[in-house]
Amino acid sequence: MERRSDWYAHPKYYEAIFGTDTEKEMDFLLAVNRVHGTGGSLLLEPACGAGRLVAEAARRGLQVVGYDISQPMLEHARKRLSPARRRQIRLFQSRMESFSAPELEGRVDLAFNLVSTFRYLDSEAAALAHLESTRRLLKPEGVYALGFHLTDYARTTFERERWVGRVGKDTVICNTREGLPDRRLRRSPMRNRLRITGPGKDLLIETEWFFRTYDLLQARRLFRAAGLRVLATYDFDYRLDTPVRRGSARLDRVFILQPEPVTQVG
């Protein structure tokens, strides 16, 4: 068995796991844009990865800006686009906390980041910088759909998830484990194992990192500090007709954020 590290350096296998809900996710995002936002056509995806949602939005005739820290992911995203689609999309290499595009300020209708990538930002300062920069890019009535798992600090067992996908004749099995959260350090250890098997192939890609932790109070406090208000909250079922109700025990959340209205003085 061959061993490697860093699943983000292997976009085709990464996408085999997360690419199955692309149309459902885009349906949800565009519904959010219509119901809570402007309904406009300029979209932004921070940490766009291999570009599956970027490509889906372009297929539906929208203009999209995406950025990601991983060059292999961006190369994969560009290769999947036809020349006609490339005219609708702009891709940049950037970290989430330092992306800057002055030409986009106040122009974005919908920003979105759905799969807990936000939790890679490992400090309050980095998370705040990302939210503030995204807020500046949104139109006053634009929205940011931000999805991540909240943390249960009372948890005493590891959390595990498993997915199975395919790339051609290869089978991809993904096992992700989140260790116990540390309330003081505001982080939890993560491990992902991708096992790829197929004709003449047996590959294990193992990646370890820390995710920043948030309970609901910590998340809402951060949003307020960034000048964003929560319009609605959904879960990872992506159904607009079933928002998360107050007091829900579900930890998977998609927060629909909008810039706080500017108070006119005088």
Q: Domain 159-211: give its CATH code.
A: 2.20.25.110
pLDDT in tens, the chain (266 residues): 899 988 888 888 888 887 778 999 999 999 999 999 999 999 999 999 999 999 999 999 999 999 999 999 999 999 988 888 888 999 999 999 999 999 999 999 999 999 899 999 999 999 999 999 999 999 999 999 999 999 999 999 999 999 999 999 999 999 999 999 999 999 999 999 999 999 999 999 999 999 999 999 999 999 999 999 999 999 999 999 999 999 999 999 999 999 999 776 55
Q: Which residues of 21-36 are buried (b: 16+ CB within 10 A; e: fewer)?
A: bbeebbebbbebbeeb
| pLDDT of res. 265 | 57
Q: Say if strands 108-113 and 138-149 run parallel, antiparallel, or are unpaired.
A: parallel
- Per-residue model confidence (pLDDT) at position 8: 85
Question: What is the pTM for the complete model shown?
Answer: 0.95
pLDDT (0 to 100) of residue 16: 84
Domain 2-151+213-259 of CATH type 3.40.50.1000: no
Write out the two tokens for 33: 């844009």
Residue with tokens 């961006």: 74
Tokens of 136: 């500046």
Separation of first and last alpha carbons in the chain: 70
Nearest of 222, 211, 226 to residue 259 by alpha carbon: 226
Three-state DSSP at 38 gives coil
Answer for the pair 227, 129: CB distance below 8 angstroms, yes or no: no
Q: What backbone torsions phi and psi does residue 51 show, to the nearest 5 degrees?
A: 85, 20
Q: At what angle do helices 22-36 and 52-59 cross, to 10 degrees?
A: 60
Q: What is the pLDDT of residue 119?
A: 98
Secondary-structure percent of the chain, ordered helix, strand, coil, rounded to 5: 30, 35, 35
Q: Say if residue 176 is exposed, middle or buried (CB neighbours under 10 Å; 0-12, 13-18, 19+).
A: middle
Write out the residue limits of the CATH 3.40.50.150 domain(s) in the chain.
2-151+213-259
The confidence score (pLDDT) of residue 12 equals: 87
- CATH 2.20.25.110 residue ranges of the chain are 159-211
**Rounded Cα distance, 143 and 110, in Å:** 5
